[in-house]
Amino acid sequence: MDIEHVRSRFKKHFNDEVGSVYASPGRINLIGEHTDYNGGFVFPGAIDKGMVAEIKVNGTDKVRAYSIDLKDYVEFGLNEEDAPKASWARYIFGVCREIIKRGGKIQGFDTAFAGDVPLGAGMSSSAALESTFAFALNDMFNLGIDKFELAKIGQATEHNYCGVNCGIMDQFASVFGKEGSLIRLDCRSLEYKYFPFKPVGYKLVLLDSVVKHELASSAYNKRRQSCETAAAAIRNNNHPEVEFLRDATMDMLKEVKDQISAEDYMRAEYVIEEVQRVLDVCDALERGDYETVGQKMYETHHGMSKLYEVSCEELDYLNDIAKKCGVTGSRVMGGGFGGCTINLVKDELHDAFIKEAFASYKEKFGHEPKLYEVVISDGARKLA
Ligand code: GLA
Residue with CA nearest ligand 1 atom 11: 335
What is the position in ligand 1's atom list of the atom closest to the CA of 32?
A: 12
Ligand 1 centre and the CA of 114: distance in Å? 22
Which of 82, 86, 137 is closest to 107 using CA atoms? 137
CATH code of the domain in which 345 resides: 3.30.70.890
Ligand 1 centre and the CA of 62: distance in Å? 32
**DSSP characters over 269-299:** HHHHHHHHHHHHHHHHHHTT-HHHHHHHHHH
Dist CA 30 CA 184 (whole Å): 10
357 CB contacts (<8 Å, ≥6 apart)?
A: 207, 318, 321, 322, 325, 369
Q: Say if residue 321 is in the same domain as residue 189.
A: no
pLDDT tens readout for residues 170-225: 999 999 999 999 999 999 999 999 999 999 999 999 999 999 876 678 999 999 99
Q: Decide if 184 contacts 192 (C-beta within 8 A).
A: yes
Q: Phi, psi at residue 115, to the nearest 5°?
A: -145, 160
pLDDT tens readout for residues 20-46: 999 999 999 999 999 999 999 999 999
Dist CA 274 CA 253 (whole Å): 14
Pocket test for ligand 1, best of 38, 91, 169 (most atoms within 8 A of CB): 169
Residue tagged active-site, from 110, 170, 264, 316? 170
219 three-class SS: helix
What is the position in ligand 1's atom list of the atom closest to the CA of 35?
A: 12
Dist CA 261 CA 266 (whole Å): 9
pLDDT at 213: 73
What is the position in ligand 1's atom list of the atom closest to the CA of 33?
A: 12
Ligand 1 close to Cβ of residue 149 (< 6 A): no
Ligand 1 centre and the CA of 233: distance in Å? 24
Q: Say if residue 121 is in the same domain as residue 207.
A: no
Ligand 1 centre and the CA of 29: distance in Å? 10
Dist CA 172 CA 92 (whole Å): 17
93 CB contacts (<8 Å, ≥6 apart)?
A: 63, 76, 83, 84, 161
Ligand 1 close to Cβ of residue 34 (< 6 A): yes
CA distances from 186 to 169, 195, 246, 380 (A): 10, 14, 10, 20
Q: Decide if 159 contacts 171 (C-beta within 8 A).
A: no
Q: Decide if 6 contacts 114 (C-beta within 8 A).
A: yes
Q: Which domain holds residue 307?
A: 202-374
Q: Say if residue 241 is in the same domain as residue 137.
A: no
Residue with CA nearest ligand 1 atom 8: 166
Is 139 an annotated catalytic residue? no
Beta bridge partners of 24: 51
Q: Say if residue 150 is in the same domain as residue 41.
A: yes
Angle separating helix axes 87-101 and 125-140, nearest 10 degrees: 40
Q: Say if residue 230 is in the same domain as residue 250.
A: yes
Distance of CA 201 to the CA centre of its chain: 26
Kindly report the pTM of this predicted structure.
0.97
Pocket test for ligand 1, best of 165, 166, 308 (most atoms within 8 A of CB): 166
Ligand 1 close to Cβ of residue 278 (< 6 A): no
Q: Phi, psi at residue 105, to the nearest 5°?
A: -95, 110
Rg, Å, the chain Cα set: 21
Q: Say if residue 169 is in the same domain as residue 20.
A: yes
Q: Phi, psi at residue 223, to the nearest 5°?
A: -60, -45
Ligand 1 close to Cβ of residue 274 (< 6 A): no
Q: Say if residue 314 is in the same domain as residue 357.
A: yes
Q: Say if residue 153 is in the same domain as residue 9.
A: yes
Q: Say if residue 128 is in the same domain as residue 250.
A: no
Q: Decide if 253 contacts 275 (C-beta within 8 A).
A: no
Ligand 1 close to Cβ of residue 130 (< 6 A): no
Q: Say if residue 68 is in the same domain as residue 140.
A: yes
Q: Say if residue 137 is in the same domain as residue 242.
A: no
Q: Phi, psi at residue 361, to the nearest 5°?
A: -65, -40
Dist CA 268 CA 249 (whole Å): 10
Q: Decide if 100 contacts 106 (C-beta within 8 A).
A: yes
Ligand 1 close to Cβ of residue 27 (< 6 A): no
Ligand 1 centre and the CA of 123: distance in Å? 10
Dist CA 261 CA 160 (whole Å): 29
Residue with CA nearest ligand 1 atom 5: 335
CATH code of the domain in which 35 resides: 3.30.230.10
Residue 142: how many CA atoms within 13 Å on its side-chain side?
0
pLDDT tens readout for residues 100-124: 999 999 999 999 999 999 888 899 9
Q: Say if residue 316 is in the same domain as residue 288.
A: yes
Ligand 1 centre and the CA of 197: distance in Å? 21
372 DSSP assignment: E
Residuewise pLDDT in 10s, the chain (384 residues): 789 999 999 999 999 999 999 999 999 999 999 999 999 999 999 999 999 999 999 999 999 999 999 999 999 999 998 999 999 999 999 999 999 999 999 999 999 999 999 888 899 999 999 999 999 999 999 999 999 999 999 999 999 999 999 999 999 999 999 999 999 999 999 999 999 999 999 999 999 999 987 667 899 999 999 999 999 999 999 999 999 999 999 999 999 999 999 999 999 999 999 999 999 999 999 999 999 999 999 999 999 999 999 999 999 999 999 999 999 999 999 999 999 999 999 999 999 999 999 999 999 999 999 999 899 999 999 999
> How many domains does the structure of the chain reveal?
2
